[in-house]
Every structure is written in C-alpha cells, then in structure tokens.
Amino acid sequence: MRAVVLRGGELTVRDTPDPIPGQGDLLLKTLSTAICASDVHFMDHPELAIDDPTGRSLYDPGRDIVMGHEFVGEVIGHGPGCSDAFPIGARVTSMPIRLVDGGAGGLRIIGQHPEAQGSFGELLVVPEATAKVVEGSVSSDAIAVVDAFAVGEFYVRASRLEPGEVAIVIGAGAIGLSAVAALSVIQASAEVMGSDDARSAGGHQA
C-alpha cells in the first residue's frame, strides 16, 4: 500500500507492506484521517516510545511506522472468526488499538507501533471488538475529527459551567476549538488565549 511512512526520523510517501487482518480483525480502506498533535509528539519525542514499559507503543527507527489514529474506513476484508456485524462496504471507525492474541497478549496503539499501522496509509486493520459502524450521511471527514471534538466536549461537561459563565481556553487548535464549540452549546463564553497570550494575560473573547 501507499502510505506516509515514518522511518529513521523522516516521513516519506512510499510503498510499505499491506497490513494483514488476524483473528477477529477487519481490514479497512482509509476514507479519511485526521492529524493529531500526538502524532507530532510521537515523531518528535521517540524516546517515550522506545522506553514504553507497556509495549503498547514502539518507536523503532529501523522499521516502518505508519501513524494516524483518528479515522474512518470502509470494510474491504475480514480476518478469520469475524461475525457478520461488519459487512463489506460498511463505514467503520474504531478505538485506535490492535489486540494481541485477542487481548491476552496485550495491545498495540494504532499509529504508534510497527505492528499496528495507522490511517496515514491506504489500508489499516482494526479489531472487530472495538469497531463501530458509522451510519447516516455524516461526512467521513467530520467523523475523523470526532475524537478531537469529544475531548473538548468532555472537559466542558466535566467543568459543570453554567450558562453565562466564562471559561479560559488556552490554545486554538483542534481541542481548544472543540471546547469553544461545546461552550457555545451550553451558552457559556470562552476567553481564547494562545500560549504567549496566557503568559501575558491577553486573550480574545469568543
């Protein structure tokens, strides 16, 4: 498959071996993917994955890694032991993990391990156990950013802000903007600051 491949600290667009679905796995054709800040952190701070004691992530400069963990794909194949819950052609998203031996051997974070290639490639594999069919007419691009927007919505909900109250949001990336959107739903205001603004107590009310 063609993919954006991380190897030796560099990103290149080239061919890399197709992922193979194992027991209970779905093979997806990537329809849309988002770029997360954690993809950048994984590339810029490989020491965190080199020394991951859980084995869930692994940065190996001598092996191909395809990042990307916020995605929606189309089912194009099944590993052995799959049910009929995910027919060929279904749109699917999933938690970004691959199970090892059905989970008995742990898991791998999709997009952060050479054995769990991510959605910056044409194909990826997800466990049927963590997959969810996406129904309706919502665009694949919108589905791919649900993860980021869910983070902002969660923290706004956890803050228990009331209508008319003002929240300070530091940063206007995907997470910050998702928080602003969630604040607008509950009719609260947002004071949006960049990191430099936060140091100088500046900002912009939204």
Q: How much is the pLDDT for 148?
A: 85
When pLDDT is averaged across residues 171-175 and rounded to a whole number, the result is: 85
Q: How much is the pLDDT for 116?
A: 96
Q: How much is the pLDDT for 158?
A: 94
- Among 21, 153, 3, residue whose Cα is nearest residue 71: 3
Its pTM stands at 0.83
Residue 137 contacts residue 81 (beta carbons within 8 Å): no
Residue 67 contacts residue 38 (beta carbons within 8 Å): no
> 141 pLDDT exceeds 80?
yes
| pLDDT tens figures, 9-30 | 999 999 999 999 999 999 999 9
Q: How much is the pLDDT for 101?
A: 87
> 203 pLDDT exceeds 70?
no
> 200 pLDDT exceeds 60?
no
Torsion of CA 186, 191, 196, 202, to 10 degrees: -170
Q: How much is the pLDDT for 195?
A: 66
Three-state SS annotation for 26-49? EEEEEEEEECCHHHHHHHHCCHHH
Q: How much is the pLDDT for 198?
A: 52
| pLDDT tens figures, 33-66 | 999 888 988 888 888 778 788 889 999 999 999 9
Q: How much is the pLDDT for 103?
A: 85
Q: The tokens of 31 are what?
A: 């329809």
Higher-scoring residue by pLDDT: 198, 79: 79
Q: How much is the pLDDT for 201?
A: 47
- Band (196; pLDDT cuts 50, 70, 90): low
Q: Alpha carbon of 91 to those of 63, 71, 203: distances in Å?
A: 30, 10, 40
| pLDDT tens figures, 89-129 | 999 999 999 999 888 889 999 999 999 999 999 999 999 99
